[in-house]
Structure 1
Amino acid sequence: MTSPQRKKPRVAVVFGGVSSEHSISCISAGSVIKAIDPDRYDVVPVGITRTGRWVLEDPATNPLELGPQGALPSVVGDIEVALAPGEATELQVRERSDVPRSLGEVDVVFPVMHGPFGQDGTLQGLLEMMGVRYVGAGVLSSAVGTDKAVMKRLFTSAGLPVLDYVVVTPREWARDEAGLRARIDDLGLPVFVKPARAGSSFGISRVDTPDQLDAALEEARRFDPKVLVEAAAVGAREIECGVLQGVGAGDHTASELAEIRIDAEHDFYDFEAKYLPEENTALDVPADVEAGLAGRIKELAVAAFDALDVEGLARVDFFVFDDGRVVLNEVETMPGFTDLSMFPRMWAASGVDYPSLVDRLIQLALARDVGLR
């Protein structure tokens, strides 16, 4: 007697969104969708438009990748869908002229979302309320991982090293502009001015002279009213490390390290250096780092992962100075998954290829409990 065939887990890959990182999310999702084994999983691509509509997307007709001359993709689907709670949460097609039509249960969501209103705990909170398992960090660590200012406070409270910084909020600027300017002056020059809750290097400026500060603040405020002004890590190497959550009670695992070497044409690791072909950026994977120092960086990466109570995965970024000092820059709870992204490259160098990495993340999500944990 033939046993009934077991249903494949259904994975809804959710991407796009209303943040400035909409297109980067689409590119990352395109790579993730290609990597998921269709023999093991039923994959449903769900795009969120720039206006917040949830739609079915078809990568066959809308390639989720960079186009000619670096043209950026967008979510363009027109079949609206929604998550519907019940004994088992399901996807439903919502058509104005008809009753909702079920597309079946959702076992796990892979939220390939970057930036506010997706990576910052908002989507994770929705999924928690729906009782749906999902890949990656929970509500709190997603929110803290998106807010660089709060992240640095948690690092400091955990005894982890960070660069000196000043947080500029609209309320504080209105109340004590002179005091904030004095604190920024104390950081010295150069400084970097960046939106506190944006990514992909959007809105970041390097300030080398005092007269550049106001324009840099305005540029950052185009993306976020909350701004971080940070001392520059002059002459430091930029080193990154990937962390994967341990299985069961197992310890978290740190990847091989990577180093970003920026051409003099770029002041920092900006959007073009990150996502366009590597004409001006060298990415060394694995990085050429002495064994003792590499071990210390990996330990700090796991400590940062724990300090933010991250689940699933994270990319941890560091500055390493000539005197051996190691300083945390930030933790990315949903790092880029494009073909040029460092997180998959680091794990490939560690013996975990792209499809295996995606599969492990899905399996980690399927194995964890819903609700408080």
Structure 2
Amino acid sequence: MKKRVGVVFGGRSVEHEVSVITGLQVIENIDKSKYEVIPIYIDKDGKWLIGDSLSKFENFKNKDFKGVKEVVVVPNYNNRKVYLHPEKTSLFSKKILETLDVIFPAVHGTNGEDGTLQGLFELMNIPYVGGSVLASSVGMDKVMMKSVFKSYELPMVDYIWFYRNRWEDKEKLIEEIEKTLGYPVFVKPANLGSSIGISKAKNREDLIKAVEVAIRYDRKIIVEKGVEKPREINCSVIGYDDRLKTSVCEEPVGWEELLSFEDKYIKSNTKGTKNGRRIIPANIPDDIRVKIEELAKRAFMAIDCRGIARIDFLLDDKNNIYVNEINTMPGSIAYYLWEPKGISFKELIDELIEIAIKSYEEKNKNMYSYDVNLFNKIDFQNKCGKM
């Protein structure tokens, strides 16, 4: 019998459109002989919708959705059902529309990649692809991520972070940044991806503008020291616990200072050539590649990740390696990094679903009840006073 896979995409995030593309890519490439796909779209208002028309990209371009129904999922333990929205049915006739075996989340950014959606799936006790609540939230928050990486002694560039309200005394903060980091620096919202809200500052005027942009997107801001003549090298990791394997490395090219949203999602990707946006595999010495692969695994395990993630590195002109960030599911499926190793997108999706089921089975070996008959051993009235 085919497993019923709910692919969840969209969401209330500035990365909504990217998420739709990721979700539709998964739906297009999943093995239909093994899985029955249920598209679950979260619109920009936060409504959950299902319907066959949600599996076609043209319908999103034309905003033409036929037969779409608003639904809810209930966070009850071992509940795997998708119900018609209560307003569409009577109180005593909750209509079950779908029953799911596993969930493939493809919601980028806020309210999806940050552990919130994963928390819902944990309450439902349903297998889901990608990192846990902890791994997702730590991987999303660049400040927490770097704190964890620091404890694992992973090499990183120097940085400063602050809350939005500190910008009210901007002169003091600017002086601290200039004294500690100098220029150039990169200014980033702590909890966003896809290069949104990120700027490079070469002087004080740039810095002020960069922070003013970043604080529109997040209350936590991180400022990182710029690397001289940097090369970006990325590597993907798949697996769980210490059973990990790495992809080939890539080098994004054609960028001078920062990969923009357009660079990442609109411009073409050509493998193995500088005429495209990536060189795959990256043209780096074997010893550097081996170090990057090892650091990628260490970063993956540092946040207790599972499923798949892409770890981004910076390489300076002296071949010093710095861990820049980890992009957990669904921030990066990075299927193009696995194809050179003979793993197709379809096979990658299949492996991710298998990991989700195995880690789910492993989690459910844990004991969640400890009966000590506590209620009968405590005199509540005398202990706590009368209600």
- Place the TM-score, normalised by the shorter chain, in its bin: 0.7 to 0.9
Unaligned runs of 5+ residues in structure 2 are 270-274, 367-387
2:301 equivalent in structure 1: 306
Hey, what's the Cα distance between the residues in 1 that align with 2:318 and 2:58?
43
Q: Do the aligned partners of residues 121 and 170 (structure 1) sit closer, same or farther apart at CA in structure 2, a change above 3 Å counting?
A: same
Q: 1:353 and 2:331 equivalent?
A: no
Q: CA offset at residue 192 of structure 1?
A: 1.1
1:262 equivalent in structure 2: 254
1:292 equivalent in structure 2: 287
Q: In proportion to residue count, which structure has more helix?
A: 2
Unaligned runs of 5+ residues in structure 1 are 1-6
TM-score, normalising length from structure 2?
A: 0.85
Q: Counterparts of 1:1-373 in structure 2 under 5 Å?
A: 7-59=1-53, 62-63=56-57, 78-84=68-74, 85=76, 87-94=78-85, 96-98=87-89, 99-174=93-168, 177-186=170-179, 187-246=181-240, 251-264=243-256, 267-278=257-268, 282-336=277-331, 343-369=334-360, 370=363
TM-score, normalising length from structure 1?
A: 0.88
Runs (4+) of structure 1 exceeding 4 A deviation are 59-62, 64-67, 73-78, 370-373
Q: CA offset at residue 65 of structure 1?
A: 9.4
The answer as to whether partners of 2:26 and 2:349 remain within 8 angstroms in 1 is yes
Structure having the higher Rg: 2
The answer as to whether partners of 2:113 and 2:331 remain within 8 angstroms in 1 is no
Aligned partner of residue 243 in structure 2, secondary structure: coil
Aligned partner of residue 123 in structure 1, secondary structure: helix
Q: Which amino acid aligns with 1:180?
A: L
Aligned partner of residue 252 in structure 1, secondary structure: strand
Q: CA offset at residue 103 of structure 1?
A: 2.3
Deviations 1:28-67 (A, max 9, x none): 1110001111211111000111111111143567417996
Percentage of identical aligned residues:
37
Q: CA offset at residue 126 of structure 1?
A: 0.8
Deviations 1:170-212 (A, max 9, x none): 24334x5444222211311111111110011111111112112
Hey, what's the Cα distance between the residues in 1 that align with 2:65 and 2:357?
27
The answer as to whether partners of 2:40 and 2:50 remain within 8 angstroms in 1 is yes
1:4 equivalent in structure 2: none
Q: Do the aligned partners of residues 325 and 97 (structure 1) sit closer, same or farther apart at CA in structure 2, a change above 3 Å counting?
A: closer
Hey, what's the Cα distance between the residues in 1 that align with 2:170 and 2:365?
41
Hey, what's the Cα distance between the residues in 2 that align with 1:135 and 1:40?
16
Q: Do the aligned partners of residues 276 and 97 (structure 1) sit closer, same or farther apart at CA in structure 2, a change above 3 Å counting?
A: closer
Hey, what's the Cα distance between the residues in 1 that align with 2:230 and 2:346?
33
Aligned length in residues = 354
